[in-house]
Amino acid sequence: MAKQNEFKCPKCGSPVKAWADLDAQVTFTVTASGKLTKPVIANSYQTDGRCGVDCSACDWSLHHSDMQEDSIFESIANSALAAQDSIEFLSAKRQNSN
Ligand SMILES: [Zn+2]
């Protein structure tokens, strides 16, 4: 196989997507009557490197743990993983509640 030097799917040539898992925890305030209110969803930093690259069109995908050391996809997978630094809280779709 020719050496991969473009950020395209090696199988079909379509654009690829970089992804990283987030670990999140939702926390509620519990009222005296047992209602869950005020959901807060916080991202808790995952350190086990769950990230990778997927094709946007076919079923090709490459998990970070399966990447060769010189894979050009490693850098974009790592960038996706690093993006979790900028995500502290996730927004919950919430109804008007007061
Ligand atoms: Zn593809």
Q: Write the pLDDT tens digit of every residue in 57-77.
A: 999 999 999 999 889 999 999
Sheet holding 61-63, edge to edge: 16-20, 51-55, 61-63
- Which SS3 state, helix, strand or coil, does residue 30 take? strand
Rounded to whole angstroms, how far apart are CA atoms 90 and 98? Answer: 20
Q: Where does the pLDDT of residue 94 fall: very low under 50, low under 70, confident under 90, or very high at 90 and above?
A: low
Task: Summarize pLDDT for 6-16 with one digit per residue, the tens.
Answer: 899 999 999 99
Residue 1 has pLDDT above 60, yes or no: no
Is residue 23 in a domain? yes
Is residue 69 in a domain? yes
Q: Where does the pLDDT of residue 90 fall: very low under 50, low under 70, confident under 90, or very high at 90 and above?
A: confident
Number of domains the chain contains: 1
Quote the ligand 1 centre to 53 CA distance (angstroms): 11
Is residue 66 in a domain? yes
The one-letter amino acid at 3: K
Quote the ligand 1 centre to 24 CA distance (angstroms): 30
Distances (CA, A) of 39 to 54, 57, 78, 86: 32, 36, 30, 20
For residue 47, give its domain range.
16-87
Rounded to whole angstroms, how far apart are CA atoms 44 and 90? Answer: 11
Quote the ligand 1 centre to 22 CA distance (angstroms): 24
